[in-house]
Amino acid sequence: MAQVSIVDYGIGNTGSIRNMLGRLRVESELVSEAHGIAAARRLILPGIGAFDACMSALRRTHLDAPVLEFARTGRPLLGICVGMQMLTLDSEEGSLPGLGLIAAHTRRFPDVEGLRIPHMGWNRIVWRDVNHPLACGLTDEPRFYFVHSYRVLCDTPQSMLACCSYGGDFAAAVIHENIAGVQFHPEKSHRFGLRLLGNFAGS
């Protein structure tokens, strides 16, 4: 059985994520049916592009309910980029509800003079809980690659695992029990992303 399963609903950098896991010698697989998600040990929900497009694709492939059921099992679930935003309650980018697994909302960056949108490139994050398994080995000036026009604002401080500053602070990583999400792209973040994916895989 693969160490990490990746939800394949037609959207997301699944190939790049698998390549990074391969560099770690972590066995991975794409899962596109309910039984594959149910059998997963650890699950990644990727996402790129627009929030509603991702949520619509997840529903169209009938994988939204299996992802929610997986989350209830207590096994590790990681959302990446729009995949993290999909874990929240809703998004200003669209009208569809999110999966509601994190008490947070996805909102557009403010229109501030001199603030370029999207937020694109490398940026430093600050862990709110340096003892969390995802932060292992990443507490010394960790930098990750971001590409996004919408950011996640948490309802409670407990939901924010790491923050980043761009036109104000926003959640770079979120957490609730076994569910986590990262706004950045670990598959594009070189050694930092490699370490984070290794931490998630338990390798």
What is the pLDDT tens value at each position of the chain, 203 positions in all?
Answer: 799 999 999 999 999 999 999 999 999 999 999 999 999 999 999 999 999 999 999 999 999 999 999 999 999 999 999 999 999 999 999 999 999 999 999 999 998 888 999 999 999 999 999 999 999 999 988 999 999 999 999 999 999 999 999 999 999 999 999 999 999 999 999 999 999 999 999 95
Q: For the domain that residue 120 is a member of, what is the CATH number?
A: 3.40.50.880
176: annotated active-site residue: no
Q: Is 113 a catalytic residue?
A: no
Instruction: Report the domain count for the chain.
Output: 1
Q: Are 137 and 199 in contact (CB under 8 A)?
A: yes
Residue 47 structural domain: 4-201
Catalytic residue among 81, 93, 105, 176: 81
Q: Which is the catalytic residue, given 105, 119, 148, 185? A: 185
Place of tokens 């409670």: 156
> Distance (Å, rounded) from C-alpha 171 to C-alpha 70?
23
Active site residue 177: no
